[in-house]
């Protein structure tokens, strides 16, 4: 119930904030092509960036992340913080917040609105399952995500996709509904066509975002290898591939930011992560080339 409440509260805040912005600008959908484009752009980009701005807050509450500072007295937690601190210094980044969430999944993720306001969190499952050299490589992978600005880039891409989906769906609905012979039928036709078009275009847009998400995993693997050592990065990916594929269902929005993702139920094109075997092969090829 707490997660449901937070989800509803977050979405209410997003809707309220964007509605206020639109009201101040005097923008209303249906007033013309340009106002419609502005409306869709603000909704598409605004929602994405508000989600990015509160991403650390939501991650902590959605996953129950407990922050550590290197002075807990727990050897594993203190090692975790010191290792992230060291890797961040190597990457010339501000040390992110570091946390642990209680979960059987063998995973870790990075999130946050900027390089200087980020969070790296690991599951209790990965602390138990991995050797320290392997876990260091996982942390280096997450630091690379932060250094590459992947969270912001994904937000920009998702915002653009949202804007185009909303705008094109409304154009299609306006053209189709314009052929209706009565006003009531036109309104109903517009609504139905818009909803169907948004679903279809949204699926098409997800192919683009998923493709970029897969690409950035290869880059983060290479970055992790540069920071923590190529063989350690390979060993970490191998440990993930050989271990149980348990995925924590909490905070699904964070799934694309984890080091390991569950296989797509539909098709590889919709997966946010390449298969681990493919990532291992690509990383080995990259190590040989360099």
Q: Which of 96, 85, 3 is nearest to 56 (CA)?
A: 96
- Catalytic-role residue among 97, 105, 142, 198: 142
Q: Are 189 and 176 in contact (CB under 8 A)?
A: yes
Calpha distance 185→170 (Å, rounded): 16
* 142-157 burial code (b ≥16 CB/10 A, e <16): bbbbbbbebbbebbeb
Six-digit token string for 263: 């296989």
Strand ranges of the sheet holding 97-101, from the earlier edge strand across to the other edge = 66-68, 97-101, 117-123, 108-114
Say whether 85 is catalytic.
no
Six-digit token string for 211: 């493709």
CA–CA–CA angle 110, 124, 139 (5° rounding): 35
**3-state SS assignment for residue 104:** coil
* 214-239 burial code (b ≥16 CB/10 A, e <16): bebbeebbbbbbbbbbbebbbbbbeb
Six-digit token string for 36: 């419609």
Residues noted as catalytic = 142
């Amino acid at each position: 119930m707490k997660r449901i409440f937070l989800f509803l509260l977050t979405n209410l805040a997003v809707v309220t904030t964007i509605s206020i912005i639109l009201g101040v600008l005097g923008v209303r959908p249906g007033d013309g092509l340009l106002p419609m484009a502005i409306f869709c752009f603000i909704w598409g980009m605004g929602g994405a960036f508000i989600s990015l701005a509160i991403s650390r807050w939501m991650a902590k509450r959605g996953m129950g992340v407990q922050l550590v500072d290197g002075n807990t007295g727990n050897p594993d937690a203190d090692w975790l913080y010191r290792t992230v601190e060291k890797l961040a210094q190597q990457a010339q980044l501000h040390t992110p917040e570091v946390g642990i969430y209680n979960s059987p999944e063998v995973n870790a993720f990075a999130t946050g609105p900027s390089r200087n306001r980020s969070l790296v969190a690991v599951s209790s499952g990965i602390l138990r399952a991995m050797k320290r050299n392997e876990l260091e490589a996982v942390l280096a992978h997450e630091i690379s995500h932060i250094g590459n600005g992947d969270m912001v880039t994904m937000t920009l891409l998702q915002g653009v996709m949202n804007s185009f989906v909303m705008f094109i769906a409304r154009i299609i609905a306006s053209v189709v509904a314009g052929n209706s012979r009565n006003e009531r039928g036109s309104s109903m036709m517009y609504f139905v066509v818009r909803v169907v078009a948004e679903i279809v275009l949204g699926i098409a847009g997800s192919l683009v975002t998923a493709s970029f998400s897969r690409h950035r995993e290869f880059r983060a693997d290479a970055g992790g290898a540069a920071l923590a050592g190529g063989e350690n990065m390979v060993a970490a990916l191998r440990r993930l591939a050989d271990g149980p594929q348990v995925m924590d269902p909490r905070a699904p929005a964070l799934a694309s930011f984890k080091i390991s993702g569950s296989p797509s139920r539909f098709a590889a094109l919709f997966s946010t992560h390449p298969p681990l075997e493919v990532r291992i092969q690509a990383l080995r090829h990259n190590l040989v080339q360099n």
